[in-house]
Structure 1
Amino acid sequence: MNLFLELRKHGKLANKRHPMYEKNKFGEFWMYFMAIFWAGYLIFFGTLFAFGFDGGAREAYHVMNAGLIFVLALDFLMRMPFQKLPTQEMKPYLLLPVKRNNLIDCLLVRSGMSSFNLIWLFMFVPFAILTVTRFYGVTGVLTYSIGIWLLMVFNNYWYLLCRTLMGERLWWILLPLLVYGGIAAALLIPDDSPLFDLSVDLGEGFITGNALTFLGMLAAIAAMWFVNRQVMVRLVYDEVNRVEDTKVKHVSEYKFLDRYGEIGEYMRLELKMMLRNKVCKNGLRMIAIITIAFSCLLSFTEVYDGTGMKDFILIYNFIIFGMLFLSTLMSYEGNYIDGLMSRKESIYTLLRAKYTLYGIAILIPLILMIPAIVTGKLSVLSCISWAVFVVGCVYFCLFQLAVFNTKTVDLNAKMTSRQNMGTGWQNLISGASFLVPMLLNAVLKALWGDTVTYWILLVIGALFILTSRFWLKNVYHRFMKRRYKNMEGFRNSRQ
């Protein structure tokens, strides 16, 4: 217990003493604002479901309980961008006389007690008050809320297991895909699936306070906690005690870039950084999987045939690559920024190389859109206009972060690296780079229709591309004015 309290205290102190603490004020405000927004959103849905499910052949809470499986799947997806692994807090303690197993135990317990596991109660508690109270009173609402919380704790440990394994080997993504694919098949293929009845019985057991239901839930949580413990102990041990492999099996020189001189050299550096380092490779793989999945669903199914969803997938597929890598512009280079600064105008050349490389990379989502174009889901003009707009206007916005980013991102450590939220500018520009194009698209289409909108986007993007040398030079000069402040931030935030 003492170790748990000490870790909690140290976590708070580490955040306050971090050199990025003052710059994270905006991110902290934005995080609290979004938490309040989603809490209100869930309360609205809980109330809506209570009245919407009422009056049917079954009680409203039976209908809600039948959908608990879908809530768990949605909760799993929601955790992806927001929840970090507990092992990322371990690094400062690895050289201290603290048992590694005890350390992981405390971190797993803290993860189970995280407030993130309470967010769904904003939907289920109002729902229970309106539907369960009339039959089971306040006690039913209380036991139901506890049961839902335990269900989310179980889902928390299930997510941690999948995320830990996927971070180590990408093919572990098959584990959640097979599990959720099997559940979907068991729910949708039979006419009367027993999984719905099982889900209803589980919720009924929570409402009635059935001891066997709660004991079974606690046993499932304990089993998942034990599996996580064993996996994390082994992986942390392997990472801490890894031996650097000095045998080079294959070296990619990218000799075709020699013809482009110094810019080609920096493009080669960027390619090697993305394809050789763990963090970058993992990001590339996740982007590839999501983009390919969205493209296939749009092209070969009718799931996203609505105009709004088509626009969302189209914009998302073009922007996601830049959002991930350009939102941390210069943060990866923070690991070796002193070497870059030793040569005159090397930063400017690096920025030009990055812009050229990421501009060429937009061809990948453009190619993935071809099946949707062939099937008539999207037009050629829409895809080309968004590709040009993203490379021009969106990349212009993201490249401004080169001036303001001052936090080094570790290139290799995953299990034991500590990651903090970005600066205010990083959060603002990254969020706006996706939300503003969506809003602009909706406004332009409402005013002038699809064709005129795509031509406007094409012209705006082309203007930014044609003037890229001028605004890249401006970004470079502003960076150089702040170079000592930025370099200090990069040095202080290195792992």
Structure 2
Amino acid sequence: MNLFIELRKHGKLAAKRNPMYEKNKFGKFWMYFMAVFWAGYLVFFGTSFAFAFNDGATEAYHVLNSGLIFILCLDFLMRFPFQKTPAQEVKPYLLLPVKRNRLIDSLLIRSGLNGFNLIWLFFFVPFAIISITRFYGITGVLTYSIGIWLLMVLNNYWFLLCRTLMNERVWWIILPILAYGSIAAGMFIPDNSPLFDWSVDLGEGFILGHLLTFTGVFAAIVVLWFINRELMIKLIYNEINKVEDTKVKHVSEYKFLDRYGEIGEYMRLELKMLLRNKVCKTALRTVFLVVISFTCILSFTEAYDGQGMKSFILVYNFVIFGILFLSSLMSYEGNYIDGLMSRKESIYTLLRAKYILYSIAILIPLFLMIPAMATGKLAVLSCIGWAVFVAGCVYFCLFQLAVYNNRTVDLNAKMTNRQNMGTGLQNLISGAAFGVPLLMNFMLTTFFGPTVTAWILIAIGAGFILTSRLWLKNVYHRFMKRRYKNMEGFRDSRQ
């Protein structure tokens, strides 16, 4: 425990000494604001759910406990866009008499104590106070809350195992699919599935404080802990010793880009960066998984049939690609910015190549949403409208970050990198890139209807696309005015 406290202290000192620390204060405020907002949202739903089933034939907590598996599945999916695998800069400690296993243990402790594991308590605690207190008192509420927290910690280590494996090999996505597919088959294929009764008994055991129930959950946490521990030891060893650096299965030259001259060269550079480096490949896999999951749930189930969720998924699926990669615009290039700056106007050509490539990439979420369009859940014109609007207006906003980003993002270090600190401007623009279009969609649809809204979005997006050379030139000139300050930040933040 002393080592964990010392490593935590070192992490705080490293964060304060990071060149992005002062710029990150607003980002922290925005993060805390959103956390409070979602906490209030969950408190509202927990209270509403308790009152909705308060007078039913079955007690409200029995109804909720029967669906604990669904909540754990939802929590698992929610962690993909919001929770990263824990990282620790290991190299400095390898010269000290500190066991590597202890460093891994500190990573796992930090992951278990992550605030994300507490977020669901804002739903369950108000619910328990209303529905459980009258039968089991405060003790029942307390033991129930502890049990739910242990379930979330268990889910955290399960997610960590799946995410770490998928970061290494995309085929490990089969593991959670098989796990949740087996659970779904066990719940819905039999007429009277025992899994529902088991879920109710699990929640009942938490409320009554049964030692066997808590012991079983804790034992499962310990098993996943040791599995994650052994896996991380192996991966950190490989990462530190650059084991995979010489393993190249095939080389793609993208010859079809030769006809586009210098812009084609930079498009080739961007494609190789996205498809060869561990951090970029992991981000691509994650966003594909989330978009495909949302689209399949929307297309083939009735879970997201509400207009609000349709609008959310429609905006999210198009915007998330840009937010994921363009919010760190030039940060990946910080690894080799000196070479880029040695040629006249190479940054402008790079920006044009990025814009063309990511605008073409908008076709990917449009293609993935074909099932939703085919089943009539989403209108074809609305999808086209949002594709054009994102490629124009939203990308215009995100490309402004190229002027101000000056922190290098390592292309391959996942578990041994430094703390990832985004600037307040990054968080603000990324949040606005999703929140403002969502608000626009609601207001325009309310006043003009979906068809007129789609044409308005197409007109706005087309205007920005047609004038892209002008505003990209403006971004380039502003970047060049700050080039020495930015290059200093890129050099200081390299590992």
Q: Distance in 1 between matches of 2:122 and 2:384?
A: 42
Cα distance, 1:58–1:451 mapped onto 2, change above 3 Å: closer
Q: Calculate the TM-score normalised by the size of structure 2.
A: 0.94
Q: Which residue of 2 aligns with 1:363?
A: 363
Structure 1 range deviating more: 325-334 or 285-294: 285-294
CA distance, structure 1, for counterparts of residue 357 and residue 375 of structure 2: 30
1:127 paired with 2:115, answer no
Q: 1:383 and 1:245, CA in 2 relative to 1: closer, same or farther beyond 3 A?
A: same
The AA in structure 2 aligned to 1:266 is: Y
Shift of 1:384: 2.5
Rate the CA distance shift 1:437–1:212 in 2: closer, same or farther, 3 A.
same
1:480 maps to 2:469: no
1: CA distance, partners of 2:136 / 2:303: 39
**2:162, 2:173 within 8 Å by CA — same for their partners in 1?**
yes
Q: CA shift at 1:302, angstroms?
A: 4.8
**Gap change, CA 1:293 and 1:157, over 3 Å in 2:** closer
Tell me if structure 1 keeps the 8 A contact 2:30–2:428. Answer: no
SS of the equivalent of 2:54 reads coil
Structure-2 change in CA distance of 1:84 and 1:304 (3 Å)? closer
Query: 1:34-73 maps to which residues of 2 (within 5 A)?
Result: 34-73=34-73
| Greater length-normalized contact order (CA 8 Å, ≥ 6 residues apart) | 2
SS class of match (2:336): helix
- Counterpart Cα distance in 2 of 1:384 and 1:477: 32
Hey, what does 2:16 align to over in structure 1?
A: 16
What is the CA deviation profile of residues 432-473 of structure 1, one whole-angstrom value per residue up to 9, with x for unaligned ones? 112211211221122222222111111111111111111001
2:416 is aligned with what amino acid? T
Q: Which runs of 5+ in 1 are unaligned?
A: none
**CA apart distance, 1:334:** 0.6
Q: 1:209 to 1:179 in 2, by over 3 A?
A: same
The answer for unaligned runs of 5 or more in structure 2 is: none
- Once the two structures are superposed, residues 326-375 of structure 1 have per-residue CA deviations (whole angstroms, 9 ceiling, x without a partner) of 11110110111111111111111111111111122222333334444444
Q: Tell me how far 1:408 sits from its aligned partner.
A: 0.9
Amino acid in the other structure paired with 1:16: K
Aligned to 2:432: 432
1:71-470 equivalences under 5 Å are 71-243=71-243, 245-246=245-246, 249-470=249-470
Worse overlay, 298-307 or 439-448: 298-307
- Helix, strand or coil at the partner of 1:331: coil
| Separation in 1, partners of 2:297, 2:207 | 38
Structure 2 Cα separation of the partners of residues 412 and 267 of structure 1: 20
Contact 2:157 2:224 (C-alpha < 8 Å) held by counterparts: yes
Larger mean Cα displacement after TM superposition, 440-449 or 19-28: 440-449
Contact preservation (8 Å) 1:87, 1:232: no
Q: State whether residues 88 and 414 of structure 1, in contact with CA within 8 Å, keep that contact through their aligned partners in structure 2.
A: no
What is the letter of the counterpart of residue 189 of structure 1? I
- CA 1:249–1:131: 2 relative to 1, 3 Å: closer
Distance 1:321 1:209, change over 3 A: same
Contact 1:287 1:320 survives alignment (8 Å): yes
Indicate conservation of the 8 Å contact 2:87/2:419, yes or no. no
After superposition, give the CA deviation of every residue in 1:146-172 in whole Å (9 maximum; x if it has no partner). Answer: 222222221121111111111111111
TM-score of the two chains, using structure 1 as the length reference: 0.94
Paired letter, 1:456: I
Deviates more, 1:247-256 or 1:39-48: 247-256
CA RMSD, Structure 1 to Structure 2 (Å): 2.0
Alignment CA distance shift 1:149-1:463 (3 Å): same
Check the 8 A contact 2:238/2:244 in 1, yes or no: no
Contact kept, 8 Å, 2:81 with 2:286, in 1: the verdict is: no
Query: Deviation per CA, 1:235-284, whole angstroms, max 9, x where unpaired?
Result: 21222223355475532222222222211111111111111111112222
The runs of at least 4 aligned residues of structure 1 exceeding 6 Å deviation read none
Instruction: Give the aligned residue type for 2:120.
Output: W
Q: Structure 2 CA distance, aligned partners of 1:307 and 1:143?
A: 38
Cα gap change, 1:219 to 1:373, in 2 (>3 Å): closer
Structure 1's 477 and 364: CA in aligned 2 closer, same or farther, altered over 3 A? same
Report the alpha carbon displacement of residue 114 of structure 1 after superposing the two structures with TM.
Answer: 2.8
Does the Cα contact within 8 Å between 2:385 and 2:455 map onto a contact in 1?
Answer: yes
Paired with 1:125 and 1:287, the residues of 2 have a C-alpha distance of 32
Q: Secondary structure of the residue that 1:494 maps to in structure 2? A: coil
Measured in 2, the distance between the counterparts of 1:444 and 1:210 equals 53
User: Which stretch shows the higher mean deviation, 189-198 or 335-344?
Assistant: 189-198
Cα distance in 1, alignment partners of residues 214 and 239 from structure 2? 37
Q: Is the 8 A contact 2:80 2:286 kept in 1?
A: no
CA change 1:178–1:405 in 2 (3 A) is: same
Q: Which moved more, 1:372-381 or 1:145-154?
A: 372-381
CA contact (8 A) 1:42 1:122 kept: yes
In 2, are the aligned partners of 1:330 and 1:405 still within 8 Å (CA)? yes
Q: Secondary structure at the match of 1:243?
A: coil
Asked if the contact 2:24–2:422 (Cα under 8 Å) also holds between the matched residues in 1, the reply is yes
Change in 2 beyond 3 A, CA 1:137/1:306: closer
Q: Tell me the amino acid that sits aligned with residue 174 of structure 1.
A: I
Query: Structure 1 residues 40, 363: CA separation in 2 closer, same or farther (over 3 Å shift)?
Result: closer
Q: Would the aligned equivalents of 2:323 and 2:398 in 1 still touch at CA under 8 Å?
A: yes
